[in-house]
Amino acid sequence: MSVTRNLMFNAYSGGIAAVTAVVAHKVVNSLWTMVTGEEPPQPNDPNTPPNKAFAWVLANAIGILGVAANRFAASRWTAFSGEELPHARSVSLKL
Q: What is the pLDDT of residues 38-85, one digit of tens each?
A: 998 888 888 989 998 888 888 777 656 666 777 787 788 788 877 777
Q: What is the pLDDT of residue 34?
A: 92
Angstrom distance (rounded) from CA 95 to CA 75 = 36
Residue type, 12: Y
pLDDT of 29 higher than 60: yes
Helix, strand, coil shares of the chain as percentages rounded to 5?
65, 0, 35
Please check whether residue 25 is in contact with residue 62, taking contact to mean a CB–CB distance below 8 angstroms.
Answer: no
Confidence of residue 92 (pLDDT cuts 50, 70, 90): very low
Confidence of residue 95 (pLDDT cuts 50, 70, 90): very low
pTM, full prediction: 0.57
The domains of the chain are located at: 3-81
Q: Is 44 helix (H, G, I), strand (E, B) or coil?
A: coil
pLDDT of residue 89: 47
Residue 63 falls in which region: left (phi positive, over 0), alpha (psi -120 to 50) or beta: alpha
